[in-house]
Amino acid sequence: MLWIELQPSYILYVRPFRETSLLVEVFSADHGRVSLIAKGVRGQSRSSKKATRSRFQGLLEPFVPLLISWRGRTNLLNLSHVEAMGTTPQLIGEPLFCAWYLNELLLHTLHHFDAHPALFKAYHIALHRLVNNPQTSLRQFEKSLLHTLGVMPQLDRETNTGHLVEPSQWYIFSPTEGILEDQPHIIAHRFRGDILLAAQAEQWDYKDALSSIKHLFRIMLDHVLAGTKIRSRELFNTAAIKGNIIP
C-alpha cells in the first residue's frame, strides 16, 4: 500500500471520471507526475459525499500551491487530503495562457512517478514570475525542462568539435546533433553565436535575443513532443492577445 502524506504539489489538469469523481493530474515535488482519483466530489449530493466535497472545496484547481495526500496500490491512486500552501499567483489574461502552456508541456513530456525536484521548483518560480515578466519566465522554464529531459546541449561550443562558439559567427542547430558549424546551403535553424551564448548564460535581456531563443527552444521542444499539439499555442493565437510570447 502506497501512502503519501502532505506532498507539495500543483494540479496540472482535472477532468470528470465516472459518475461522481474527478481524475486529477498532479505534479508533485518528490514523486513527479501522479494521477489521482478524487472520489465523490461531483454529481448529486449525498450525505456521505458532502464531507468529501467540503474538504476539497475550491482547492482542486490548477496553479494553486497545495499539500496533497494520496494512497493506493495501483498507478491510479486515491486522493485523500488537500490543503492550500503558500500564495496563489494572480494569473489573468496573458499570464494565464502562459501558465496553461507550462502545464501542457509537463503533461506531454513527463512520465508518471519520475521525480524532478529541481523542475518542480522551476515551475513554482515560473508561475509566480509570469505576472510581471512572462517572456523571460517562459524561456527560463523551457530551458529547465529541456535540461531535465536531457536534450539541452551545451550552447557555448560546437557539439562535434568542442570548439567554443564565437559571438559574431553563425551556427546550425540540429535537435539530434546539437550546435554545428555554419553551412551556406542550409538556411533553416541558423543562429548567431551571441544568441547561443546568451541562451547558455541565461541572459534573457541581451539585446533582442528572446525571439531567437524562443525559436531555438521551440525546435528542441517540438522534437521532444514528436508531433503532439500544444493546444494553448492555438488558444493564445485566437484570443487576440498582443505579443508573441508562447512559441
Per-residue confidence (pLDDT) for residue 43, from 0 to 100: 64
216 and 158 in one domain?
yes
The domain total for the chain is 2
Q: Where do we find the cell 529541481?
A: 118
Domain that holds residue 6: 2-84
Confirm whether 27 is domain-assigned. yes
70 and 103 in one domain?
no
Cite the beta strand spans of the chain per DSSP E: 2-17, 21-28, 32-38, 66-72, 76-84, 170-174, 178-181, 190-192
Confirm whether 139 is domain-assigned. yes
132 and 80 in one domain?
no
Query: Rounded CA gap, 234 and 205, in Å?
Result: 26
Which strands, in side-by-side order, build the sheet including 170-174? 178-181, 170-174, 190-192
Confirm whether 247 is domain-assigned. no
Per-residue confidence (pLDDT) for residue 238, from 0 to 100: 66
125 and 13 in one domain?
no
The reported pTM is 0.90
Confirm whether 243 is domain-assigned. no
Per-residue confidence (pLDDT) for residue 135, from 0 to 100: 92
Q: What is the pLDDT of residues 161-194, one digit of tens each?
A: 999 999 999 999 999 999 999 987 777 899 999 9
Q: Tell me the CATH number at 186.
A: 1.20.1440.120
Q: What is the pLDDT of residues 100-126, one digit of tens each?
A: 999 999 999 999 999 999 999 999 999
Q: Which domain-ending residue is among 84, 117, 149?
A: 84
Confirm whether 171 is domain-assigned. yes
214 and 106 in one domain?
yes
Query: Rounded CA gap, 43 and 40, in Å?
Result: 8
107 and 183 in one domain?
yes
62 and 151 in one domain?
no
Confirm whether 246 is domain-assigned. no
Residues (pLDDT < 70) of the chain are 43-55, 237-247
78 and 98 in one domain?
no
Confirm whether 170 is domain-assigned. yes
Query: Rounded CA gap, 40 and 60, in Å?
Result: 13
CB atoms within 10 A of CB 30: 12
Per-residue confidence (pLDDT) for residue 239, from 0 to 100: 59
Confirm whether 226 is domain-assigned. yes
77 and 120 in one domain?
no
146 and 47 in one domain?
no
Q: Are 39 and 78 in contact (CB under 8 A)?
A: yes
Per-residue confidence (pLDDT) for residue 12, from 0 to 100: 98
User: Helix and strand tally (H, E) in the chain?
Assistant: 7, 8
171 and 102 in one domain?
yes
**Residue 40 CA to its chain's centroid (Å):** 29
Q: Tell me the CATH number at 15.
A: 2.40.50.140
103 and 198 in one domain?
yes
